[in-house]
Structure formats: C-alpha cells, structure tokens
Structure 1
Amino acid sequence: MTELTGIFKQIEEHSYTPDNCFLCGCELSDDNRTIEHVIPKWLQRKFNLWDQKITLLNGTLLPYRNLTIPCCLNCNNRHLRPFENEVKKAFENGFEAMSELPDEILFYWLGKIYFGMMYRELFLDFDRSDPKKGTIVTPEYLDSFYSHFLFLQGIRGQIAFSNFFPASIYLFKTQKPKELESQWDFIDNQDALFISIRMGGIGIIALLQDCKSTKKIEHHLDVHKKIELHPLQFRELSAKILYKGILMNRTPKFINTQTGKGPVETHMLPLQGFSSKPIFDDWNDDDYSILMSHILRLPLDICQPKKGQTYTWLLKKNGEPLFIDIKDDLNLF
C-alpha cells in the first residue's frame, strides 16, 4: 500500500471537530483560531440576513449569523479572503463584472459555501430534544464528498485542474424585489452537488461536479438571458438545471499526479467510458414536475395541470422568453 503524503495525507487525517480548520485541517489554538462565515458577512449585511434563518437538512432553522465554521488564520486571511474580495468587488460592479469573473474563482467561492453548509451541520444535533440521535451530518457523510473537498484545496494552491473543469456555472440577470431580504434566495442539493444563489440582480446556478456535462445544454438556456428573470422564474430555471444534473448517470472519476513541489494535477478520466449509453437519462415530465413543485414551493397541480404536461413561467407558447414584471401579481392560487 502506497504511503499517503502531502495534501492526500492532510485530507485523510482531517479531524472534523470544532478545533480543526475546516479547510486545511490544522489544529486551532487561541493564536490561530478564526471563524469563517459560510454566507459572507458582506452579503448578510447587504440583504439584512443577519437575523434571518436558513433551513438545514433536517428541516430546522438556523440564523445566518450562526452559520459559521472553524478556520485557521492562515486559510482565512491568506487564501479565502482574496477570492471573497474579488467576488465582492465584481458583485458591486454589477452583472457584467460578475460574468467576467474566471469560472475558477466562482467555483471556489460557491464550493466553499456548499461544503460549509454541510460542515456546519457536523456540530448541530439532528434532534435537539434527543442529542443521542447524533448530528445532522456525520464525518462519514462528508467523506463521500472527497473529490469536492480535494478540489477545494485549490483555494490553497494545492490542486490544479488538468484539461478539465469540475463544474457547470450559469449566470442570469434577475429582478429585485423592494424588500432587501427578498432579494436573496438560496437553494442547495447534496445529491447533485448543486447550488443556486439569487443576490439582487444576479442569479448564479452551479452543478459543482458534473465536469461541464450540462454546459452542452447551455444554448437552450440562452433565451433566458434576454430578460431579467422574476424570482419565481429563476427558481424554475434552478429546478430545470438541478433536474438535468440528477439525470446524469455517470460518476466522474479522477487521477492525480504530482511532480516536484508544485500542486497536484488532477485529470478526469473519459466520462463516457466504454459504455454507449447516453450520459443523461431521459427527461420525465412527471418526475420533473414533482421537483419543480418542491423548488417553487407550489402545489403539484399548479406545476402539472395534466399528467405529462408541465407548466412553465419561463416561455411564451411561441418559445420566446416570458417577461413577468415583479410588480405584477402572478395570481398563482
């Protein structure tokens, strides 16, 4: 058996405790201990989220201000802050500036938020009335996200992607409700490594480990870039991309190489493999309608008026994008 060294040794020996940095795994002390806000403080201030609550995996609520994870001073200041500052600056300069950000920066920023959500749940009881039931998330569960956690080490310059990119990332213009809190929306899905964030006039949707497979459908989504999406429309688009990710029937596999003291180079093995089967299973409107009903928080009979027929708020009958003014009452019920 090959002895683990370097970054792989750090990951294998990572202790999932409040006294270890979530990113590098080092032991925390009074001298190097900090906390990392999973949803950045600048976003919480911008959208008045500090006292708002987010829904966790077990259905319970946690104030955004308490959504923090343990982090060392070095990772926080030297590695995480530069990415945070770049995203913040781009956000403040608007949609075009966000669109010009390198995909890698958005991947690390979104990937940290996605992983941080689960990491925080390591330290929260699944049932507060019965701590014996354990925590919402276990270290064993986090271990199943090994590749994603390995890729996050690129934040520290430990990993480089060779001839592939792990994610599909989409940006859309969105309308802004009057209330600041309503200008923020967050969705994630662990099974598909999916995250969707609407912040003001910018909507970002990502499948963090489909290795750009769904990017092949991006030309079908271009029509939605012609207008500013209503919040409901952005959720519907999030449901569409999430469902496409769920239909992916391959699990990407990677090999890692390292020469000298540079970063580990990660290579993706051919996704198609030796199978002639398509990478995505067939789209099923009935299954999609159930998912859309959940994401849009609407009754199924609204999302699917008839079996096999899914309603859409995204397009007119002629296929042109449907603009829904945020000032209008949708009269959904």
Structure 2
Amino acid sequence: MQQHLALFDPFEKMQFGYRTCFLCGNTITQDQVTQVFPEWLMQEYDITERPLQMLDQSVVQFKDLQVPCCRRCQTQYIQPLEEQVQAAAQQGVAGLRALEPKLLFQWLGKMFYGTLINELIKEQDPLIKPEYAVSEQPKMLMKFQSFFKVLQSLRVPMTFADFLPGSIFVVDVDAAAEPSRFEFRDDLTTMMISLRLDNAMIVCCLLDNELLKRAMRRVWAEVEPRKLQPIQAAEFSARVFYGAYLLNVIPDYLPRQAKPQDEVLVMDSLIDDVTDVIFNPWENSAYAKMLALSWARWGVTQADILKDPEAPISMLFTPAGEFVEFPEVPGQA
C-alpha cells in the first residue's frame, strides 16, 4: 500500500502521549500541538477560559485542551478544515447544512477525539481515579478504535463506500428566545457530541452509519424545515442522545485492498447484527431522565415529564402527533 494511504492505529499499543502526533503517529517535540476547540471558535464565542469538567473530576479551561499534532498535519489537514467550517458557520444554519457532511463529521470528530485523548492522558495520572476508566473498558476502546479509522479521512484520502459514519443533524433554533450563544455537550460512551452556535445546533452520533438518522426520519422531517424554540431544540437533542444510548451495534470499518496506482482508500463498513437488535427497547422512564437533564434550566422535572407514564410530555408534538408551533412550558404562564 502507498504510504499516504496507510492508517495509524494508536490503540494497538495505546500510543497516547505528548510526543506522538494524534493523527499520523509520528514522533514529535512537545511544543507541537493543536487546539481541540479551534481558536476561531473560542474567540467568537468567548469560551477560551470557560471551565470544562473532565472524567477524573479535574476542571480545565477550553484553551487548555490541546492534542499533540505535527506541523504537517496542522498546516495541511487541520487548518484547511477549520477555515472551511468557520466560513460555513458564519453563514449560520444554511451554511452548515450546505457544508459537505463528511467535513462536518471530521470537524466534530476531531473535537470529540481530542477530548478523549486528554481523558486518556489524564488517566495515567488522575486527580481522582474515575469509577470507569476508559482505558480499562475493552468495548469502549473497540468503539474508539473503529471511529479513529474513519476519522483518519482527515489525513488519508478516503471515500466511504455507501455510508457516512455518523448521523448529523443541524437544527435551526430561535436564538432571540435565549441569550446563550454557545453550548457544548459530549458523551464518550455513546459517541455523542452536540454544539450550539448562535441559532445553529449541531447534534451528532459519530459512530452509527446514520442508523439514528434513519430511525428518526419522521421526526427529522418535521423538525428540519422549522425554527425551534430552545426548549424544543433541547428535546430534540435529548431524543438523539437517548437513541444513541439504545444503539446496540458497533460498526466496523475495513479498508479495501489498495492497488499500487490508487490515490484514494475506499472504506467499507460491516455491522455485526447477528443479534438482530440494532436498538434496544425504548423505556419511557430512562428517556424521561435524559429529557429532564436537557430541560433542567426550565425547571421541568422527571415527574412532570412522566405525569402520564405511558406518554411522556413533549414540546415538539401533540399526543396526536402534530407539530407544536407554540410550546407552553409546564408550570410557566
């Protein structure tokens, strides 16, 4: 295989440290780093010094999250991607939706993976040992290993045969209804990440081959053309996060045998579905718990959501399935 099509697998020998480029695996000096959250994003949303809690309970600022990155990967791959996403983000929802989904996947994936690497490095010397250390969970590591194969499309010319590795939703939010310009949330276990940038909320499951998007196609058909109130956007996000929690399969990615003249690596995907269960059964109580977290700022509790245990309340749809144009928050006039 040509060298530029060769993949790097840091999980084989757990090569995570300050002297290994996160993207290509080359040995580098400790001063070669890239920001997990790009400079333009931190400056635009004034989050440089905003705190972020890690799994070992230590608190870092957004600017502190960096990953080892050689100068070549920084200038040839990371920087051009940041410039494209920044230009799209300046155009709001329309710009982000027009961006090639693969680029948005790479951009979100880089932030997710960069956060993960910081967790793995911290686990070598934690403030408080996490109850479930990532490096001690084989299933989790298998997920990350699988995900990193396709994230290397950042560096390796790669096409995905008939899939996109993740489900990406760009939601239009009524930003005038709420002062918050930026929100960030991720979940390592479910491979979920969401970002709010002014009136655009991006919600993404990074490792599902768009199974979630297919499962939610009816909901998304109603949501996509509309401008949501913040409480509705929070509900939509909770639905996606819960859907990712129910996902019962881990896609695997296999590069096709490259011929000497090939310039692009073609990636195929396999999903082990011998169990025939792609999603575990939906449970209203577990979903209500997740929704209550998303709705905490409106003071809506799990008990409010489950007044009728068979039908959790929704700000998106009426019991008959009609879209709610003007949602009324429980307990508020």
TM-score range, shorter chain: 0.7 to 0.9
> Which residue of the partner structure matches residue 265 of structure 1?
266
- In 1, the alpha carbon distance for the partners of 2:305 and 2:332 equals 10
Displacement after TM superposition at 1:192 (Å) = 1.6
Rate the CA distance shift 1:45–1:135 in 2: closer, same or farther, 3 A. Answer: farther
Secondary structure of the structure 1 residue equivalent to 2:168: strand
- In 1, the alpha carbon distance for the partners of 2:150 and 2:41 equals 24
- In 1, the alpha carbon distance for the partners of 2:100 and 2:185 equals 22
Corresponding residue to 2:305 among 277, 285, 303: 303
- In 1, the alpha carbon distance for the partners of 2:153 and 2:331 equals 47
Relative to the length of structure 1, the TM-score reads 0.84
Partner amino acid, structure 2, of 1:302: D
> Which residue of the partner structure matches residue 284 of structure 1?
283
> Which residue of the partner structure matches residue 34 of structure 2?
36
Displacement after TM superposition at 1:28 (Å) = 1.3
Contact 2:6 2:156 in 1 (8 A): no
Question: Where does 1:214-293 land on structure 2 (aligned, <5 Å)?
Answer: 214-216=212-214, 217-259=216-258, 260=260, 262-269=263-270, 271=271, 273-274=273-274, 277-293=276-292
Contact 2:250 2:272 in 1 (8 A): no
Contact 2:166 2:206 in 1 (8 A): yes
Rate the CA distance shift 1:324–1:115 in 2: closer, same or farther, 3 A. Answer: farther
Displacement after TM superposition at 1:138 (Å) = 5.4
Contact 2:54 2:60 in 1 (8 A): yes
Displacement after TM superposition at 1:176 (Å) = 1.9
Aligned-residue identity in percent: 24
Secondary structure of the structure 2 residue equivalent to 1:19: coil
Gaps of 5+ in 1: none
1:70 aligns with 2:52: no
Displacement after TM superposition at 1:254 (Å) = 3.1
Partner amino acid, structure 2, of 1:63: Q
- In 2, the alpha carbon distance for the partners of 1:218 and 1:20 equals 41
Question: Deviation per CA, 1:72-101, whole angstroms, max 9, x where unpaired?
Answer: 111111111111111100111221121111
Secondary structure of the structure 1 residue equivalent to 2:111: helix
- In 2, the alpha carbon distance for the partners of 1:60 and 1:81 equals 29
> Which residue of the partner structure matches residue 52 of structure 1?
50
Q: How many residues align?
A: 319
Corresponding residue to 1:88 among 80, 86, 98: 86
Rate the CA distance shift 1:121–1:248 in 2: closer, same or farther, 3 A. Answer: closer
Contact 2:175 2:198 in 1 (8 A): yes
Secondary structure of the structure 2 residue equivalent to 1:20: coil
- In 1, the alpha carbon distance for the partners of 2:88 and 2:130 equals 40
Gaps of 5+ in 2: none
Rate the CA distance shift 1:115–1:210 in 2: closer, same or farther, 3 A. Answer: same
Question: Deviation per CA, 1:26-85, whole angstroms, max 9, x where unpaired?
Answer: 11127xx43222121211111111121123234443211112222111111111111111
Question: Deviation per CA, 1:208-230, whole angstroms, max 9, x where unpaired?
Answer: 11111122222322222343223
Contact 1:121 1:137 in 2 (8 A): no
- In 2, the alpha carbon distance for the partners of 1:137 and 1:188 equals 16
Displacement after TM superposition at 1:273 (Å) = 4.3
Rate the CA distance shift 1:185–1:21 in 2: closer, same or farther, 3 A. Answer: same
- In 2, the alpha carbon distance for the partners of 1:332 and 1:122 equals 43
Contact 2:177 2:229 in 1 (8 A): no
Partner amino acid, structure 2, of 1:24: C
Contact 1:239 1:295 in 2 (8 A): yes
1:162 aligns with 2:164: no
Secondary structure of the structure 2 residue equivalent to 1:45: helix
Contact 2:209 2:251 in 1 (8 A): yes
Displacement after TM superposition at 1:13 (Å) = 5.2
- In 1, the alpha carbon distance for the partners of 2:57 and 2:233 equals 23
Question: Deviation per CA, 1:283-317, whole angstroms, max 9, x where unpaired?
Answer: 22112111222333353213322433312222345
Displacement after TM superposition at 1:179 (Å) = 7.8
Rate the CA distance shift 1:60–1:13 in 2: closer, same or farther, 3 A. Answer: closer
Secondary structure of the structure 1 residue equivalent to 2:7: helix
- In 1, the alpha carbon distance for the partners of 2:310 and 2:205 equals 26
Partner amino acid, structure 2, of 1:82: P
Cα RMSD after superposing both structures: 3.0
Contact 1:20 1:70 in 2 (8 A): yes
> Which residue of the partner structure matches residue 172 of structure 1?
171
Partner amino acid, structure 2, of 1:167: G
Partner amino acid, structure 2, of 1:16: F
Contact 1:227 1:321 in 2 (8 A): no
- In 2, the alpha carbon distance for the partners of 1:152 and 1:23 equals 9
Rate the CA distance shift 1:176–1:164 in 2: closer, same or farther, 3 A. Answer: same
Corresponding residue to 1:104 among 94, 97, 102: 102
Which structure exhibits the higher relative contact order, with contacts defined as CA atoms closer than 8 Å and separated by 6 or more residues? 2
